[in-house]
């Protein structure tokens, strides 16, 4: 009788879904963005669980690479990061509200004051508790978060402002940095130059990943690379210079034969034009492989002709029919039968299928695919020595 030692099986090797994250590539991408930042210091944006890739592993990698300024969206993210980035400044982009002081003070987090209401509250906190570092976010045309430009300039000129009410950083955010041709970038730059001049002697930051590519005028003292660290496209219409970071794969559950004229998946929206072989894989929209990536049955297909492609046995294969919650169907008819089998893995995105190409097929951006990764992926992290 044959016995099996199940403890010898690596879960990654048999997982229905798996995700490979190249930490060495993340570190290299940060070094590349730091170089592009010129005289400015490069921080790192690790919000949304480091864009879905794991704030602990990514945070440690970036801290060891030299990052000392991190940006998160929520205080809880900052508290997690603090345990493995002990000497870093950690900025919380959503700011602070009453009752949230303990998590900031206990974890040495820097609130980014992002509205008039937060500004009024924070002045009261400083009056009661004394000096504590904070950043001031100024709206220069985004109409999202930020203290209005004229209010910020008035605050800078207010000679009655308490000495403790002096930010360690003033910042803003470009809304069209991914479009270098947009004249709005220059408008925001000129507005932010007024802010930086008004807060002379205080560090200033305008650019995330896209802004860094706009050149030295946009760099100021501190840059905030985000998506570029994770291998995503930061600028539209140009070749992506960043190293790929993440590979998502789904295992083939079954390969089935189907006849010409038969339909595929929900709604029967895809009709086969030939005798076909179909690979059903264990990934669906519950895993962040969006329904909008489907090969048919969506209004989007009238605008973007093709759905997503996967990669298996050295070839690209198209998604056909609608993607379902847990499964996706690929047409593998053109792959010789002896080269593909149930149990093989289809690359959903990675080295062979660029993340942003998949995103475009779904009418979205790489950010959404990364941050929408589900919980069912078995993960493997590769470091510089892997």
* Among the listed residues 50, 12, 29, the one whose alpha carbon sits nearest the alpha carbon of residue 248: 12
- Output DSSP code: residue 216: G
Helix ranges (DSSP H) in the chain = 11-14, 23-36, 47-51, 55-65, 75-82, 101-107, 116-129, 149-157, 183-198, 209-213, 355-361, 366-371
Gap between the Cα atoms of 167 and 199, Å rounded? 9
**Three-state secondary-structure class, residue 94:** coil
- Is 47 an active-site residue? yes
Q: Which helix (H) or strand (E) holds 382?
A: strand 378-382
Q: What is the DSSP string of 141-160?
A: S--SSSEEHHHHHHHHH-TT
CB 223 within 8 A of CB 42: yes
CB 281 within 8 A of CB 301: no
- Is 35 an active-site residue? no
| Active-site hit among 132, 218, 266, 311 | 266
Q: How many CA atoms lie within 13 A of 191 on its CB side?
A: 23
| Active-site hit among 35, 47, 134, 381 | 47
The strand pair at 147-148 and 169-171 is best described as unpaired
**Residue 113 CB burial class (10 angstroms; 0-12, 13-18, ≥19):** buried
- Residues contacting 259, CB < 8 A, separation 6+: 272, 275, 276
CB 358 within 8 A of CB 369: yes
Residue 249 to residues 12, 344, 377, 379, Cα–Cα distance (Å): 11, 10, 9, 11
Write down how long the chain is.
Answer: 386
Q: Which residues are catalytically annotated?
A: 47, 266
């Amino acid at each position: 009788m044959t016995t099996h030692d199940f403890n010898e099986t690596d879960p990654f090797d048999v997982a229905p879904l798996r995700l490979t994250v190249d930490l060495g590539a993340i570190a290299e991408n940060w070094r590349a963005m730091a170089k592009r930042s010129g005289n400015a210091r490069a921080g790192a944006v690790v919000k949304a669980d480091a864009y879905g890739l794991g704030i602990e592993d990514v945070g440690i990698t970036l801290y060891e690479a030299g990052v000392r300024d991190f940006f998160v969206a929520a205080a809880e993210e900052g508290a997690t990061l603090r345990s493995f980035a002990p000497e870093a400044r950690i900025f919380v982009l959503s700011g602070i509200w009453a009752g949230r002081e303990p998590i900031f003070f206990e974890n040495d987090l820097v609130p980014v004051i992002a509205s008039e209401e937060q500004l009024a509250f924070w002045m009261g906190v400083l009056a009661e508790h004394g000096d504590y570092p904070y950043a001031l976010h100024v709206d220069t045309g985004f109409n999202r978060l930020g203290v209005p430009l004229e209010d910020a300039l008035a605050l800078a000129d207010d000679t009655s402002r308490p000495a403790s009410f002096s930010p360690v950083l003033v910042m803003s955010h470009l809304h069209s940095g991914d479009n270098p041709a947009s004249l709005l970038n220059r408008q925001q730059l000129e507005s932010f130059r007024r802010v930086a001049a008004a807060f002379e002697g205080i560090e200033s930051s305008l650019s995330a990943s896209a802004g860094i590519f706009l050149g030295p005028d946009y760099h100021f003292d501190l840059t905030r690379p985000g998506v570029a660290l994770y291998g995503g496209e930061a600028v539209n219409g140009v070749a992506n210079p960043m190293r790929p970071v993440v590979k998502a794969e789904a295992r083939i559950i079954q390969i089935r034969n189907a006849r010409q004229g038969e339909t595929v998946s929900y709604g029967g929206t895809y009709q086969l034009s030939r005798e076909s072989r179909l690979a059903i894989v264990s990934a669906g929209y519950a895993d962040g492989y969006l329904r909008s990536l489907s090969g048919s049955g969506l209004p989007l297909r009238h605008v973007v002709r093709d759905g997503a492609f996967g990669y298996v046995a050295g070839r690209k294969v198209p998604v056909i029919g609608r993607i379902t919650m847990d499964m996706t169907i690929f047409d593998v008819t053109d792959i010789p039968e002896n080269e593909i089998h149930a149990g093989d893995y289809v690359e959903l995105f990675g080295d062979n299928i660029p993340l942003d190409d998949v995103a475009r097929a779904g009418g979205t951006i790489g950010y959404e695919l990364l941050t929408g990764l589900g919980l069912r992926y078995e993960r493997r992290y590769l470091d510089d020595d892997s």
